[in-house]
Amino acid sequence: MKIGIGNDHTALELKKEIIAHLESQGHEVVDYGAYTTERANYPEFGEKVARAILKGEVERGVLICGTGVGISLAANKVKGIRAAVCSEPYTAQLVRRHNNAQIIAFGARVVGNEMAKMIVDSFLNAEFEGGRHQMRLDMITDIENRE
Ligand code: RB5
């Protein structure tokens, strides 16, 4: 699978580990930055990965900042994007099965490296179930369209 990844300065080392982990599984990873530990603003990278998904450059996204919250908030401002912050694999699986999230987000200051890998694996290995869940997502789209 082709996966886009983005981060701020708090998450550079964890991002490198996640990229290596994904590539070892045969995934192709596109790195949208940040590329250094110089202070960086998470909205820039959340937006880049979100737009890459909508353009079809990548199929799924991984976003990492200190908590995962700021970068996911930015991604969710892009119409049609569902980015979910997760700190454990159970939720990471369900945001695919029930919420059809295209992006998983987590915090480099919150989860350890091994937990982060489990979160990403659970997210990527689960599929959207449709049905009643699609109807609820349509309700979210309706909120978006009424804004
Ligand atoms: C940066 O200090 C921090 O605010 C950022 O990484 C993130 O946690 C914001 O939600």
d(CA 117, CA 114): 5
Question: What does the pLDDT read at residue 38?
Answer: 98
Q: Separation of 98 CA from ligand 1 center, angstroms?
A: 27
Q: Separation of 99 CA from ligand 1 center, angstroms?
A: 25
Q: Separation of 86 CA from ligand 1 center, angstroms?
A: 15
Per-residue confidence band for 53, with pLDDT thresholds at 50, 70 and 90? very high
Nearest-CA residue for atom 6 of ligand 1: 66
E strand segments, the chain:
2-7, 28-31, 60-65, 83-85, 103-107
Look up 86 and say whether it is catalytic. Answer: no
- Of 21, 27, 98, 133, the catalytic one is 98
Pick from 91, 82, 81: which is nearest to 122 by CA?
Answer: 91
- In whole numbers, what is the pLDDT of the chain averaged over residues? 98
Cis peptide before 105 (omega within 30 of 0): no
The pLDDT of 9-18, averaged and rounded, is 98
Residues 21-46 pLDDT 10s:
999 999 999 999 999 999 999 999 99
Residues 112-133 pLDDT 10s:
999 999 999 999 999 999 999 9
- CB-ligand 1 contact for 47 (6 Å cutoff): no
